[in-house]
Structure 1
Amino acid sequence: MSTRTLLLTALAMLAFAGNSLLCRLALRDTDIDAASFTSLRLAAGALTLWLIMRLRMTKRISTGSWPAAAALFVYAAGFSFAYINLDAGTGALILFGAVQLSMFAWGLYRGERLSLNGSCGLLLACAGLLVLLLPGASRPPTGAALLMLVAGVAWGVYSLLGRGVNDPLAATTGNFLRATPLALLLSALFFGQARWDMPGLVYALLSGALTSGIGYAIWYTALRGLQSFQAACVQLSVPIIAALAGSLLLDEALSVRLLISAAAVLGGIALLLNAQHRRA
């Protein structure tokens, strides 16, 4: 792996973790509501990606599809509403676990078979999520956890729909452009609860333009220098970065339950990825 690829990959992982931090910070410490945050994030992301595509001198930008845009919208909305009551690290772990497990589940449905190590990894990851969601003093709120699970499954669906596209950045731009009207409709439905302030507005725009739009552009550039196995494994760092940053920057507690769950979920997914890599 070249130094350039390593640097781009590190920046992309920081951007992905930054989405969790910015969303949690906005919904915990400012007056912005979740629906407005979702709309501003998607609109800012769409505008940023559109500008990047224009700089590439690409004439045809409106790629993507409505099914993918709908999955993107469900992810973004569930993500925002879940972070009203979830810590940054907990939310990132549930999201990442749901994304990976939903994609593995689709593979099993399509007839893929797991080795013994892969089966053990799947069971370990599921057990880790179960440990996090079992009743107890440090269990995350059930409703928020379920919303984040839905967001993770939606992102998994979005990822599956995006496999094999010729130009991932153009497809993502089109999907963001299509998802923005859906988010605006959500904001209209919650118009009576709409509220925002300048810090909340800034966090939403940063989440959309910087950690989503530019973050995705950096990631697609980094992917050119990564093998599929490397690209999958490196994302294991995102929940850890989010949890540590949440503890340092947002004064969120690193509970024993979260640490045990993170070790099980991320370790299980690592086993799954390694088993797939060996079979390939």
Structure 2
Amino acid sequence: MKLFALTLLAMLAFAANSVLNRLALAGELIDPASFAVIRLFSGAIILGLIVLAQSSTRPALLSTKRGVSVAALLAYMLGFSFAYLSLDTGVGALVLFGGVQITMFAGALLAREHVPALKWIGALVAAGGLAWFLWPTEAAPVDPMGAALMGIAALGWGIYSLLGRGAQNATEDTAANFALAAPLSLLGLFAIGPELTPVGVLLACLSGIVTSGLGYALWYAILPRITSATAAIAQLSVPILAALGGIAMLGEDLTLRFAIAALIVLGGIGLSVTGARKPR
């Protein structure tokens, strides 16, 4: 029961990132670039403190893999923030989550890993559901620029996750990546002039310190105690939790189109996860 509660808490933290970002931008409390910058700097500080408290070793900062990881993290952070200028909370989370799974599936193909038939079917179902949802319609339009930006974020997080597989200490690596990405994220401020309010800064700090820094640290502490299939299935709850948060805190509508798309995408990912499990 304790492990279940901790897992749920981590999933709530991931979903809260979408809610906090959308809440800040929809209320025009902060610009998207500043939100990403503050999120990265505050996340780097809390993760750095956790690493200092837990370990005497320091991760290598300079390597090709580290450089790609930092670039992927920046793509995720900036794409994520700018996408929520126009996307509803649940919509953004669904595009992000579906895109990450598709990116990781493509990574498995490029690495020539064995892909079971059920995983193929699940990936195609998820991709089809996402494509159907994003297809332009007059009844329930999805902003194409916002979807494209969230697609960039999904690609970045997918690549980041692929590179992070097998890390000996994921928290240390994440702290190092945040520390290097934070100063580079300042370049994003050239794309849009900073617009800050105290509440907007507070929301960005909450996203960086609590739902990103502490949330990631909690998740990496849980991962060794659960199977990879359980971890993947648990993350299926994130878009749903984000959508519920958007409805409760931002008054967003839960459309039938989103509900159907979520069932298709998450069902496809569930099939893919089932197909990835090794027989005993």
TM-score range, shorter chain: over 0.9
Identity %: 45
Aligned counterpart, 2:180:
178
Give aligned pairs, total.
276
Find the residue that maps to 2:225 and give its secondary structure: coil
RMSD, matched Cα: 1.5
Deviation, 1:190, is 3.3
In the aligned structure 2, how far is the partner of 1:175 from the partner of 1:143? 27
Is contact 1:30-1:199 (8 Å) kept?
no
In the aligned structure 2, how far is the partner of 1:210 from the partner of 1:183? 20
* TM-score, length of structure 1 as denominator length: 0.94
Deviation, 1:57, is 4.4
Give 5+ residue unaligned stretches, structure 1.
none
Aligned counterpart, 2:149:
147
Give 5+ residue unaligned stretches, structure 2.
none
In the aligned structure 2, how far is the partner of 1:86 from the partner of 1:98? 15
Matches within 5 A, 1:100-249: 100-136=101-137, 137-187=139-189, 189-190=190-191, 193-249=193-249
Q: Deviations over 1:177-207 (max 9, x none)?
A: 01001111222x136x211101100000000
- What amino acid maps onto 1:12 in structure 2? A
In the aligned structure 2, how far is the partner of 1:109 from the partner of 1:37? 34
In the aligned structure 2, how far is the partner of 1:53 from the partner of 1:256? 44
Q: Deviations over 1:93-147 (max 9, x none)?
A: 0000000111011112222344442232122111111111111121210000011
In the aligned structure 1, how far is the partner of 2:210 from the partner of 2:119? 36
Deviation, 1:233, is 1.0
* TM-score, length of structure 2 as denominator length: 0.94
Deviation, 1:210, is 0.4
2:34 is aligned with 1:33: no
- What amino acid maps onto 1:121 in structure 2? G
Q: Deviations over 1:222-247 (max 9, x none)?
A: 11211111111110010011111211
In the aligned structure 2, how far is the partner of 1:236 from the partner of 1:149? 18
- What amino acid maps onto 1:55 in structure 2? A
Find the residue that maps to 1:239 and give its secondary structure: helix
Is contact 1:62-1:170 (8 Å) kept?
no
